Amino acid sequence: MTRRLTVLLIAIAFGSACSEDRVPTAPTPTVPITEVFQGTLTINGGVTHPFNSTASGTVQATLTALGPDSTVLVGLSLGAWNGNACQIILAKDDATQSSTITGTASSAGGLCVRIYDVGKLAEAATYEVQVTHP
């Protein structure tokens, strides 16, 4: 009898907890952040720009400017920033001006974009990379 009473009391307690009227809350939308990175890429060189994502979501890097020759092939990549280096996750080794690379951040944290010479630069090149992320 005591066992049945205990089970009944537990069932009533759980039942009453589940019957509360709760208003579901909608998730707060994440407003995308756009960052612009500029610099000079040297022959056989590479430049890494770390940034922080505040939530999971789409990350997109676009090579918005490359000069003096906007058609020269360079590398563009996205990765995880470990505090010392960019651990490449997505790479495009044939990027030119206007090339885009898109990935998904699974959570908030350190990310990075990297631009690098793939052996095609005849002289140093200036660049601008625009990154949009959560």
Q: Which three-class secondary structure string do you get for 118-130?
A: CCCCCCCEEEEEE
Q: What is the pLDDT of residue 30?
A: 75
User: What tokens does 116 get?
Assistant: 């690098």
Give me the pLDDT at residue 23, please.
65
pLDDT score at 98:
98
Domain boundaries, the chain: 30-133
pLDDT value of position 40: 98
Q: How many CA atoms lie within 13 A of 32 on its CB side?
A: 13
Over the chain (134 residues), the average pLDDT of each successive run of 10 is 38 44 65 96 98 97 98 98 96 98 96 98 98 97
Pick one of 2.60.40.10, 2.130.10.30, 2.60.120.380, 3.50.50.60 as the CATH number of 30-133: 2.60.120.380
Q: Which amino acid, 127?
A: Y
- Edge-to-edge order in the sheet of strand 100-105: 33-41, 125-133, 57-67, 100-105
Q: Which two tokens stand for residue 105?
A: 């951040």
Question: With b meaning 16 or more CB within 10 Å and e meaning fewer, what string describes 80-109?
Answer: bbeeeebeebeebeebbbebebebebeeee
